[in-house]
Structure 1
Amino acid sequence: MSTEKGSRAVADALKDIEVEKIRGPGDSQNVKLSSFWEDQPVVLHVLRRFGCQLCRGQSVEMAKMLSQLEANNVRVVGIGLEKFGLEEFEENNYWKSELYIDNEKKIHKALALTKVGWVGTFMMLFANKSVKEAAQKTKDTPGNFQGDGRQLGATFVMAKGGELLLDHRQKDFGDQPTNAEILTALGLDPNQA
């Protein structure tokens, strides 16, 4: 399911899914995804694994634009697919904004996010240029191979009300949108990140 910019298909597919709050506003422990884009734009980052070196590195990279996003009333939400590795992820403060867990991978199912087979995983880890480049950029970030390492993630940018501004579904473990792409999708200056 790839969705064109301007569509509400992603918002419609996700609106009734509830995720478990780890860190975020409000008293409710379970939060409907539609609440994220109800009153303001949102960057919704679906992480692969909390122990993933590349995911941790991307989280640190995304934090560089957090103050600009918050100053422009953009909500920034990270969603993991399992609690495994969460404690270390939190202790090291890799993600600096709201954080939730999609314990049953409802997002992945609703949007048909790719899960890589064993052969594809091996090929990505040892022969994929994008993954090698991402690993080089994050070489000083510790990680591990525990948890569901074959599931790919995604980053969605939505306007207030759920109109899709950016749909970036990972093609491999190293495939992430740049901060400039995210800021541009929101109509913000990509040079200020």
Structure 2
Amino acid sequence: MTTDITQIGSQKVKSVTSGETVELKTFWENQNVAIIFFRRWGCMLCRLWAKELSEIAPVLNKHNVKLIGIGVEEAGSKDFVNGKYFDGDLYYVDNISTYQLLGFKRFNVVTIITSLFWKQSRDAIFKGRGMGLETDLIGDGLQNGGALFVKNGGKLLFHFVQMGPADRYPNQDVLEHFGLENEYNPETMANKKPEEKECTTEAQP
């Protein structure tokens, strides 16, 4: 898939906290940016990814890399903010077409339920529950997300597309795109290889 950063940059998003509407391109006009497109604010798997990303937020901030989280809708966003899951600025898209333009996969009811039984999903749910993360049923549970890493001025570094609801781009790889791989500490940062434990319960998508 060819990613047209100019077309993507014209897409509009709204601030969760202020309600201000801005175009995506404003994020990378004067700084490097890591933009995470979450699938649903109340999803435990999204909250887990947000928590993991927050571990590298101080490193990104120190090196002028803005961390931004975007959701597919406003519903549930306030609870996400109040839960302090993400150490970055939060927005939601003005139109679902933004996710479609980025090639983010959409499930149906059957496939999303099936995907929650994948080993990757079970491991993530197990980890999230161990961290005390909660889930709810607010909002659209069928849309997947991904990420964009863009250099100051609009050079696209990488376009990540989730293949499943528990798919999370590793912190180490995020840092590498900005030349910050030496800042990664595998002993204290997230995305380490999970322990081989089975979990037979599932969370709501």
Give the structure-2-normalised TM-score. 0.83
Could you tell me how far apart the structure 1 residues matched to 2:89 and 2:110 are? Answer: 34
**Quick one: which amino acid aligns to residue 5 of structure 2?**
A
CA contact 1:115–1:152 (8 Å) conserved in 2:
yes
Three-state SS of the structure 2 residue aligned to 1:116 is: coil
Aligned partner of 2:155 in structure 1 is: 163
Could you tell me how far apart the structure 2 residues matched to 1:87 and 1:77 are? Answer: 16
Picking from 71, 75, 79, the partner of 1:80 is 71
* Pairing of 1:89-108 with structure 2 (within 5 A): 89-108=80-99
**Quick one: which amino acid aligns to residue 153 of structure 1?**
G
Aligned partner of 2:179 in structure 1 is: 187
CA contact 2:103–2:161 (8 Å) conserved in 1:
no
Could you tell me how far apart the structure 1 residues matched to 2:12 and 2:160 are? Answer: 21
Could you tell me how far apart the structure 1 residues matched to 2:66 and 2:26 are? Answer: 11
Picking from 105, 119, 140, the partner of 1:129 is 119
* Pairing of 1:30-179 with structure 2 (within 5 A): 30-126=21-117, 128-139=118-129, 140-179=132-171
CA contact 1:184–1:190 (8 Å) conserved in 2:
no
Aligned partner of 2:10 in structure 1 is: 16
CA contact 1:166–1:182 (8 Å) conserved in 2:
no
Structure 2 unaligned spans of 5+: 190-205
Could you tell me how far apart the structure 2 residues matched to 1:158 and 1:21 are? Answer: 19
Could you tell me how far apart the structure 2 residues matched to 1:134 and 1:162 are? Answer: 33
13-22 vs 65-74, which deviates more? 13-22
- Tell me how far 1:71 sits from its aligned partner: 0.4
CA contact 1:10–1:164 (8 Å) conserved in 2:
no
Could you tell me how far apart the structure 2 residues matched to 1:98 and 1:11 are? Answer: 21
Three-state SS of the structure 2 residue aligned to 1:35 is: helix
Structure 1 unaligned spans of 5+: 4-8
What are the superposed Cα offsets for residues 73-117 of structure 1, whole Å, 9 maximum, x if unpaired? 001111111111112111111122111111421321222311012
**Quick one: which amino acid aligns to residue 122 of structure 2?**
K
What are the superposed Cα offsets for residues 1-29 of structure 1, whole Å, 9 maximum, x if unpaired? 3x4xxxxx3422311111111248xxx81
Give the structure-1-normalised TM-score. 0.88
**Quick one: which amino acid aligns to residue 55 of structure 1?**
C
Could you tell me how far apart the structure 2 residues matched to 1:31 and 1:179 are? Answer: 27
Could you tell me how far apart the structure 1 residues matched to 2:21 and 2:143 are? Answer: 23
Three-state SS of the structure 2 residue aligned to 1:138 is: helix
Could you tell me how far apart the structure 2 residues matched to 1:72 and 1:152 are? Answer: 29
Could you tell me how far apart the structure 1 residues matched to 2:152 and 2:24 are? Answer: 13
Could you tell me how far apart the structure 1 residues matched to 2:50 and 2:17 are? Answer: 15
